[in-house]
Amino acid sequence: MSRIGKKTIAVPAGVTISVSPANEVTVKGPKGELKETLDRDIKVTVENNEISVTRPTDQIRHRALHGLYRSLISNMVGGVTNGFKKELELVGVGYRATVAGQQIDMALGFSHNIIFELPKEIKATAISEKGQNPRIILESIDKQLLGQVAAKIRSLRKPEPYKGKGVRYSDEIVRRKAGKSAGK
């Protein structure tokens, strides 16, 4: 049995879960509603405020999907109750970010500013404090989408190993390299 797949998911108060015959799981909570369509072989049951995920056989495919769908449902329950947050840091001279509605306008050292359009499910704020690097805080109830958007923003200017400049996660550690050593 999958160690992750066989764990049950506790359903907090205020969260409702419904499973349709087409194997679509809907999770509603105080922060919003999320839906996920599961593989037809994986079964989800809700009993006594606990969700359990089961698989029909020990095939490699079923074993892989078992833990995956349990984690996805757990993330959905966590998202509609608490939500998720990612923080990005802009390290570099002149690097800035401003948020206007669903657009992030970033100056990342290119000859032009980059305007990044956010999905409607994600809320962003930009913080610029004196003496600290500018930060972008992304919040959403959908963990998958949040991670994907944060990775896309980071890919616009990845942290380079010599000076450490670029867009990085706030908890990311960038391994630094020594530069060229002077000649003879």
**What is the rounded CA–CA span in Å between residue 157 and residue 63?**
37
* pLDDT of 118 over the 90 cut: yes
Reported as a single tens digit per residue, the pLDDT across 53-90 is 999 999 999 998 999 999 999 999 999 999 999 999 99
Residue 85, classed as helix, strand or coil, is strand
- E strands, the chain, are 9-10, 16-19, 24-29, 32-37, 43-47, 50-54, 84-91, 96-100, 103-107, 114-117, 123-127, 135-140, 166-169
Percentage with pLDDT > 90 across the chain: 87
Domains contained in the chain, CATH given? 9-81 (3.90.930.12), 84-169 (3.90.930.12)
Beta bridge partners of residue 36, listed in sequence order: 25
Reported as a single tens digit per residue, the pLDDT across 15-30 is 999 999 899 999 999 9
- Average confidence (pLDDT) over 94-98: 94
Per-residue pLDDT, averaged over 110-137, amounts to: 95
DSSP-assigned letter for residue 34: E
